[in-house]
Structure 1
Amino acid sequence: MSSHPTGMAVNTRLVARPVPGLFTRLWTGSLSHWVGQYSHPMTWTGLTIFVLLLLFSWGGPWVYPADPLAIHANHILLAPSWRFPLGTDNLGRNMLARMMAGGRVTLEVGLLGSFIALFMGVLYGMSAALSPRWLDKVLMRLLDALLALPGLVLMIFFAALVPLNALSLVLVLGFLSWPGLARIVRNEALAYKERDYVLAARQFGAGTFYIARTHLMRSMLPILIVNATFMVADLILALSGLSFLGLGIQPPHPSWGGLLNDGLQLVIIGPWWLIVFPGLAIFLAIVAMNVLGQGLLARLEGR
């Protein structure tokens, strides 16, 4: 006798269930895998700090709508107060508004420049790994020549030639930062292309582009993400260095490095807030991306 109230056995496999939505499928299929595999205390710490910097730079003007370029002749070099939470500079400009505007430029250059460097490094490294042996050697010798050139000197050279604005600095930093990543991509692609699943795909007629996109890129994705986070930190530091030398974002438009440079010229007369807040912002941005990268790397290595 069946224990079911109706006396009939029910096949639970035939019971209709709601079809999961797109977000549910995406979460269960890939996002949950990434969160579970690459979650690490350092990862969340770095990501939290960087998100707070993004909110400060882009969301701050909605909460505190002040003009970063407005000059207040009666409020020169005021210390932090309720009216000016981060004080004012030597022209009476609101430092909080300038910090938010400088953060937008600094983070944009770091993120977009790293995207360009990542794209070029992947393209060059993958092309070298999948090309004939002789072409791979030629491309690697060219890459060795590029890596032998001092990066900071090249950045200063090109920054002195092009008009200095956010777009030109994104291009300069992006186009000069990819050679190191290209070598990593090439070495990883050479290792992965001899795997059994790649050889099997070739036997079934898969083309070079399909193998690179479907097999090699998926295998290298964690390594690329880790290196991308480190590259963002490197480009923020490089932009700050150029701004410190007067080759970054030009006045009156602010950047964190430019604000730090301006503050150092006046620190002898006592306005400590002009160097503490820009320096702290640069420090937090670099630490956030390095901690995020270290957390991803630790999870990748199984630590």
Structure 2
Amino acid sequence: MTAAIESPLPATPGPTSSDAGDITAAASSGWKLTLREFTKNKLAVTGVGILLFFVLFSFVGPLVYHSDQLNTNLLSTYQAPGGGYPLGTDSNGFDVLGRIMLGGQTSLEIGFIAALIATVIGTLWGAVAGLLGGMVDAVMMRVVDILLAIPFLLVVLIIAHRYGSNTWNLSLILGVFSWLVPARLIRGEVLTLRVRDFVSAARVMGGSKTHLIFRHLIPNAMGTVIVNITFQIADAILALAALSYLNFGVHYPNTDWGSQISDAQDALSNGYWWLVFPVGAALVLVVMAFNLIGDGLRDAVDVRLRKR
């Protein structure tokens, strides 16, 4: 009989269901810690409240407060607040309150869509550059540097003039030209993550670059992604307002807050304050809300990372 030869190395156990459960529990605990720290930030919670108010105001408000935003009424132009018009009427006889609701829909929709497009492109670009490194990273980031040197507003104005200004076109234009900053942020995050033990272990186990990016790097950089997207939305809303002020925004029958400010730029000198201050306040409060939420998320994510 031949004696059995024992291996000098102990068998390495593979991942078990309990290990997977521990990882899931740790991730869940981390996000619970983030939420708890976020709710302690009174300014961030205030920002959430302001944003929730304007989302309901813009999308639910028209279902409660009905106004005609399609047909002009030249007999009711420049009516002061009161007499059936809580915020008065504009130069076309449109109810200003209903106009602000309609403009809020467009501004928020374009802000969210543009930020989503910019975040997806920037996250993928930065993750690939950070993981591959070397010459690939150098070339990819030089492309980002070159594009950052091009005046953003000038390019957007030319493209908006060429292809038209509707909700989808403006969202796509703003999103495609806003991914550069997220790309740099995610690339920097990936550069720190790719030397971590869990990434090295995944490499040793034969994980492909695609697997590393989508399974390990992007999920672990999600805190940075979520914080950045709030600032991206605020930037997109402001960029849309700038375009609209220059008459490159959406056109009748649609409207946005920037277009309303543009249309009312001579109103103050004529005493029609209600055409400027309410919509201006809405724009400022929404942008401020996103910035407060972003600051709160950033602080909460930092606390979570410190306590891991």
Give TM-score scaled by structure 1 length: 0.86
- Shift of the 69–207 alpha-carbon distance from structure 1 to 2, 3 Å rule, reads same
Which residues in structure 2 correspond to 1:61-76 (within 5 Å)?
61-76=62-77
Alpha-carbon RMSD across the aligned residues, in angstroms, is 2.0
Structure 1 unmatched runs, 5+: 1-24
**What is the one-letter code of the residue matched to 2:127?**
M
User: Alpha-carbon deviation of 1:41?
Assistant: 1.9
Q: Does 2:158 align with 1:162?
A: no
Give TM-score scaled by structure 2 length: 0.85
Which residues in structure 2 correspond to 1:187-202 (within 5 Å)?
187-202=188-203
User: Alpha-carbon deviation of 1:299?
Assistant: 2.1
- Shift of the 34–82 alpha-carbon distance from structure 1 to 2, 3 Å rule, reads farther
User: Alpha-carbon deviation of 1:33?
Assistant: 4.5
Q: Is the 8 A contact 1:164 1:248 kept in 2?
A: yes
- Corresponding residue of 1:95: 96
User: Alpha-carbon deviation of 1:29?
Assistant: 6.6
User: Alpha-carbon deviation of 1:36?
Assistant: 2.0
Cα deviations by residue, 1:124-161 (Å, 9 ceiling, x for unpaired): 11121223522221111111111111212222222222
Give the Cα separation in 2 of the matches to 1:149 and 1:31: 38
**What is the one-letter code of the residue matched to 2:282?**
A
**What is the one-letter code of the residue matched to 1:67?**
D
Structure 2 unmatched runs, 5+: 1-24
Give the Cα separation in 2 of the matches to 1:30 and 1:112: 28
- Shift of the 149–247 alpha-carbon distance from structure 1 to 2, 3 Å rule, reads same
Give the Cα separation in 1 of the matches to 2:238 and 2:296: 20
- Corresponding residue of 1:36: 36
Cα deviations by residue, 1:41-96 (Å, 9 ceiling, x for unpaired): 22211111111110000000111122222322321111111511111011211111
**What is the one-letter code of the residue matched to 1:219?**
N
User: Alpha-carbon deviation of 1:248?
Assistant: 0.6
Cα deviations by residue, 1:84-134 (Å, 9 ceiling, x for unpaired): 111101121111111111100010000000000000001111121223522
Q: Is the 8 A contact 1:69 1:98 kept in 2?
A: no
**What is the one-letter code of the residue matched to 1:112?**
I
- Corresponding residue of 1:250: 251
Question: 1:218 aligns to what SS in structure 2?
Answer: helix
- Corresponding residue of 2:112: 111
User: Alpha-carbon deviation of 1:271?
Assistant: 0.8
- Corresponding residue of 1:14: none
Give the Cα separation in 1 of the matches to 2:45 and 2:38: 10
**What is the one-letter code of the residue matched to 2:288?**
V
- Corresponding residue of 1:129: 130
Q: Does 2:304 align with 1:297?
A: no
Q: Is the 8 A contact 2:69 2:253 kept in 1?
A: no
**What is the one-letter code of the residue matched to 2:35?**
V
Q: Is the 8 A contact 2:34 2:301 kept in 1?
A: no
Question: 2:265 aligns to what SS in structure 1?
Answer: helix
**What is the one-letter code of the residue matched to 1:204?**
M
**What is the one-letter code of the residue matched to 1:109?**
I
Give the Cα separation in 1 of the matches to 2:301 and 2:83: 46
- Corresponding residue of 2:272: 271
Question: 1:229 aligns to what SS in structure 2?
Answer: helix
User: Alpha-carbon deviation of 1:34?
Assistant: 4.2
Aligned length: 278
- Corresponding residue of 1:141: 142
Give the Cα separation in 2 of the matches to 1:166 and 1:46: 25
- Corresponding residue of 1:260: 261
